[in-house]
Amino acid sequence: MNTKENAVTDISLKEIFAVILRGGKQIILFAMIFAVLFGAFGAMEYYTSDESVQAEYQIALEEYKMEKERLQSAVERAERDAANQKDYNENSQLMKLDPYNKITTTMVFAISGIDLEEIADPFQITQLPISDVTTRIQAQYLALWNGLNLEKLLADTGYSGVADKYLREVIALNPSDGGVLTLIVAGNDAADCEQIVGKLYDALLVSSETVAKASYDHTFTLLSNAITTSCIDLKLEQAQLENANKQEKYNVSLEEAEKALQECKAPTYGKSASGIVVNVIVGAVIGVLVTVLFLVCAHIIRGKVSGAKQLTARYGLIHFGSLAKKIGFWERLGYAMMGEKLWKDEAQAQAYIRESCQNHLPEGAAVAVVSSLDTVDEAIKARMVELLSARGHKVSFVTDVAHNPDALAAIAQSSGVVLAERVFVSANAEVKDLLKTVHEFNKPVYGFLLV
């Protein structure tokens, strides 16, 4: 027996692509139909959406106003932060100190010389403690210190022209228990620091008369004169780095806020035809997908013969050839995908069939050309019979074997059969049944023709 059924009957990916390529015309046609339908729907929506467009525009306009206001506030805040940080980094005396050689001058003095008889209660009702008196005087000096114009006072020193708020970063008057006050000045030059401490101490001495009038007579006792030291202040270095990084951070924030404000565009009122274009594109894509899905599913469900190579691989049949015929571009691509042999020249096609007959048909054999197809064009049938009869073979051509009694008689009277099937028309199931019928008659299958 010359037929065998391949164990692998699954449809390959190559076969699916061939089906899609052969259906190129249908795919394009339905893509255009769906594109027109979806485009028409989009156009109808475009011309009947005045009220909805107006409502959408108002909503978009309100959202734009709110967003623009928010972005403007963000820009103003970023500008303020960046400007303040830049001003601080350029003018702050802390930013100018050398953290690895920080100069500090300290002067410590105490409130003294208070007349105890002056603070005694003349009626002997209460006796005010001396510690309360010194604390009160000390508080008044601190209040005066907070109101002191340091910028004016130090105009002729190394800190000339420095604003009061920046001077107070490096100059301080710190209170301690027992009426002790400590003046501290930090800088990069020891002589400047000592000069500034002296001027500040003199200013406090001048203020002592005013404080005495508001409290009690007193004097200052200098506990330590101006003592100057240098140190490494890693915390100062960290603070300087953090402030430098803040400047970069604020600059980036400002750039981002300005960019966002520039990109915030007001909505435009009016209807856009872009929706129609989108609908056309979507329709075309859906048309392609639906057609491809239909073609593939139909091919799988119907189980059509996809080519000569499939018949050879699945049933072990020899391909005798086919007549030359004109086929379209998409059909040719489908054949090329499957690697099928096509004959453009009729003489070459006939020569191939004659050679196949010579190689595979016994001499003088009675050959029945049988087909599962309902009908085959009479001209094609006549041409096939003529070619197969060239070496004296007796040839008959019958179709619709499953329902044609003459076909069974032709098989019974023949020496063997040659199948005649058509790609993407003949069904594999019918071909299988046809082969089964031939085998029941115990007749050999010489090969197959594609018609």
Q: What is the 3-state secondary structure (H, E, C) of 19-53?
A: HHHHCHHHHHHHHHHHHHHHHHHHHHHHHCCHHHH
Statement: residue 195 has pLDDT above 90: yes
Q: How far apart are CA 286 and CA 289, in angstroms?
A: 5
Residue range 231-288, pLDDT digits in tens: 999 999 999 999 999 989 999 998 988 888 888 888 776 555 566 777 788 888 888 8
Statement: residue 93 has pLDDT above 50: yes
Position 124 scores a pLDDT of 47
Residue range 155-190, pLDDT digits in tens: 999 899 999 999 999 999 999 998 999 999 999 999
Mean per-residue pLDDT over the chain, rounded:
83
Residue range 417-431, pLDDT digits in tens: 998 888 878 888 888
Position 306 scores a pLDDT of 73
The whole-number average pLDDT for the span 397-414 is 85
Position 421 scores a pLDDT of 86
Position 4 scores a pLDDT of 38
The whole-number average pLDDT for the span 12-20 is 75
Q: How far apart are CA 99 and CA 240, in angstroms?
A: 9
Nearest to 139 by CA among 181, 102, 196: 181
Nearest to 386 by CA among 346, 439, 415, 337: 346
Which of 28-42, 246-260, 267-281, 318-332 has the highest mean predicted lDDT (pLDDT)?
Answer: 246-260
Give all domains of the chain, ordered by start, each with its CATH number.
101-231 (3.30.70.1130), 305-450 (3.40.50.300)
* pTM of full prediction above 0.85: no
Q: Quick one: DSSP state of residue 170?
A: T
